[in-house]
Amino acid sequence: MKNSDIYVTRSSMPPYEEYIEAIKPLWDSHWITNMGAYHKQFEKELAEYLDVPELSLTVNGHTALELVIQSYNFPEGSEVITTPFTFISTTHAIVRNRLQPVFCDVKMSDGTMDEMKIEEQITEKTVAILPVHVYGHVCNTEAIDEIARKYGLKVIYDAAHAFGIQYHGKGIGNYGDASIFSFHATKVFHTIEGGAVVCRTHEMYQKIYDLKNFGIHGEELVTSVGANAKMNEFSAIMGICNLKYIDRAIASRKAVFEKYQELLVGRPGIRLLDHSADQTNNYAYYPILVEDAYGKTRDEIYAELKRKGIHPRKYFYPLTADQACFKNRYKKVEICNARWLSAHILLLPIYEGLEIKDVERIAESF
Ligand SMILES: *Cc1c(COP(=O)(O)O)cnc(C)c1O
């Protein structure tokens, strides 16, 4: 690792003095976790920013997803229809809740779950659909909702990639029964580590609250079995600080994104994924598909860039369904599109502050 190396992402940092100033009050109050003042303030600010009715902060995105699933108390062994074209966390959250993932294929156009292939996977054991707004590409929420209503299923979105995105003029967290966000250091918006559950009802907010705080309801009263998944005050303050600069961060990413578009759209053998006109973009990722016609394979480009100190990533390869821990364990489903995408995808570096001359260098390096 050299200092001049370019990684696929880099954490946005608020101005140093500002964060240091902001955490000073913690040395007076000595209150550094347990739903302190900043947790409260950040929860409120974030619910407003994301334009959602209910939001509960958590220690990370993965735990948020585990707790949402857990909050529904699905019978052990129930089936959850999900996508294999995602970060391993999505599938882990299902399996760690003792449920069975049923992998549904994705669309070649944008990598999101193929709504036309959901119904054929529904059985009497199906309880939920768990799609991912992969790379911030919004799923076909209308079709998914309709299927869910018809069969009485819950819809839980993994919106870890979709921070701040609006769809049909509404915050993305308003779709489905619940969504989770990740504020991990590598995401568009971060709290170092952190996440949130967003949901429609205060009743569900309460359930998540209990699950994230041991079910404690007073010094001598515990009413349900819960975990510990609270966000601490240092993270909440990092969130408050970063939220002030989120527009700047996204604008910087947009400039990078547009430069890549200028240099790569129309390059023979390089295909880009579609992006719905009904949504805004957070420019979280820059995925390219290296088709056979390019003359070099995805893996050759990956190696070539690495040699030049540029570190793209093969997200998401392998598919979660093909990982050692899950392979051949669950219902066998044709997932040809997901396999193709996974074999041809490469994510180029994009982050706040990536210089345009570096974008040019990257695009010219393969
Ligand atoms: C990052 C991510 C998660 C997990 O979030 P953490 O905050 O890292 O726990 C889950 N799903 C997807 C799609 C992600 O990208």
In the prediction, which pLDDT does 239 show? Answer: 98
End-to-end Cα spacing for the chain: 21
The band of 149, judged by pLDDT with boundaries at 50, 70 and 90, is very high
265: tokens are: 């759209």
For the chain, what percent of residues have pLDDT higher than 70? Answer: 99
Is residue 286 predicted with pLDDT exceeding 60?
Answer: yes
- Give distance in angstroms: CA of 84 to centre of ligand 1: 14
Q: What is the pLDDT of residues 58-78, one digit of tens each?
A: 999 999 999 999 999 999 999
Supply the pLDDT for residue 3: 72
Would the CB of 90 count as within 6 Å of ligand 1?
yes
Q: Which of 59, 60, 63, 89 to mutate to test the pocket of ligand 1 (most atoms within 8 A of CB)?
A: 89
- Find the 182 Cα to ligand 1 centroid distance in Å: 5
Which residue's CA is minimally distant from atom 7 of ligand 1? 61
Residue type, 27: W
Average pLDDT on 125-149 reads 98
On the question of pLDDT at 90 being above 60, the answer is yes
Report whether residue 161 contacts ligand 1, using a CB cutoff of 6 Å. Answer: yes
Q: What is the pLDDT of residue 47?
A: 98
- What is the mean pLDDT of the segment spanning 139-152? 98
The rounded distance, in Å, linking the Cα atoms of 258 and 251 is 10
Is the confidence at residue 1, as pLDDT, over 60? no
Residues 320 and 90 sit within 8 Å (Cβ to Cβ): yes
86 touches ligand 1 (CB under 6 Å): yes
Torsions phi, psi of 141, nearest 5? Answer: -65, -30
Q: Output Rg (C-alpha) for the chain, integer angstroms.
A: 21
The span from the CA of 45 to the CA of 284, in Å, is: 21
Does any ligand 1 atom lie closer than 6 A to the CB of residue 62? yes
Element (H, E) at 269: none
Tell me the sheet residues that pair with 310.
Answer: 6
3-class SS of residue 227: coil
Residue 157, pLDDT score:
98
Q: Where are the beta strands (DSSP E) in the chain?
A: 6-7, 54-58, 79-82, 100-103, 126-130, 154-158, 166-167, 170-171, 178-182, 195-199, 270-272, 286-290, 310-311, 345-348
Mutational test site, ligand 1, from 9, 88, 90, max ligand atoms within 8 Å of CB: 90
Under the banding of pLDDT at 50, 70 and 90, the label for residue 179 is: very high
Decide if 136 contacts 165 (C-beta within 8 A): yes
Backbone phi and psi for residue 128, each to the nearest 5 degrees, phi listed first: -155, 160
pLDDT tens-digit readout, 313-341: 999 999 999 999 999 999 999 999 999 99
Q: What is the mean pLDDT of the chain?
A: 97
